[in-house]
Amino acid sequence: MPQENVPPIVITPDATIDLQWIDGRFRVAGPDKEPQIERPPAGAVIVGFRFLPGAAAGWLGLPASEIVGERLDLAELWGGRARELSDGIKHAPDLAGMVRLLEETVGRQTQGCDALDPLMGRAFDVIHEGLPPEAPLLPFLVRRLNMSERTLRRRFDDAFGYGPKTLDRILRFNRFRRLREKAGDASTAVLAIEAGYADQAHLIRESRRLTGLTPSALA
């Protein structure tokens, strides 16, 4: 298939950071705040690993805020160390062998690495589940995690790439999408309230902001 005929893929923010193997090289897909358009090479073999929430910064060795919206060759971050990792995988005999080598290689890089920030993992879970109605986000997290607002914002930037309010917006929209998948023909207005939006108009604004589309167009 010619490159120009490869259909574009719309990537919407989902509060994750991925490590991807694309045709012989490791690539880091940073956390997104806006929709991204990707056009993978025709016939490309892509294998992806998704970091647990808050774990990527420790594994990569830099704050997530430095790679927001980026798609970076791992060699740009690790230099020769990344190239050495890649060279050992290029000689895999087949796809199954390559995937096995990838798993082993990535696994070895986690040994002795305290990658997960437990408090930020807890913060992610709290926001993912949804706060109690009318609970103000920042004061709620400050009390729940027992840290100052300044420290909270810094730790969020390091772990997720952005602050609590941005993470809340992204996770709330993904919560709406999960509800819609399960609910079938349920009213969008009802699902919006259940997901934590003030009303359907609020949902539509956030959908356009995060995906470029309305919820109906996205569906």
Q: 37-51, pLDDT tens digit by residue?
A: 998 888 888 899 999
Token look-up 């060759």 returns: 73
Q: Residue 103: what pLDDT?
A: 87
Measure the CA angle with vertex 174, ends 110 and 102; round to 5°: 25
Tell me the average pLDDT of the chain.
89
pLDDT tens figures, 124-141: 999 998 888 788 999 999
- Starting at the earlier edge strand, list the strands of the sheet with 71-73: 46-50, 18-22, 25-29, 71-73
* Sequence-distant contacts of 191-195: CB under 8 A, at least 24 apart: 195/130
The model carries a pTM of 0.88
For the ranges 17-26, 92-101, 127-136, 198-207, the maximum mean pLDDT occurs at 198-207
Higher pLDDT, 68 or 83: 68
Predicted local distance difference test score (pLDDT) of residue 5: 63
Q: What would the mean pLDDT of 144-156 be, rounded to a whole number?
A: 95
Domains of the chain: 3-109 (no CATH), 118-218 (1.10.10.60)
Tokens of 125: 């879970």
What is the distance between the alpha carbons of residues 150 and 148, in angstroms, rounded to a whole number?
A: 5
Alpha carbon distance 67, 65 (integer Å): 6
- Listed range (55-64, 73-82, 102-111) with the worst mean pLDDT: 102-111
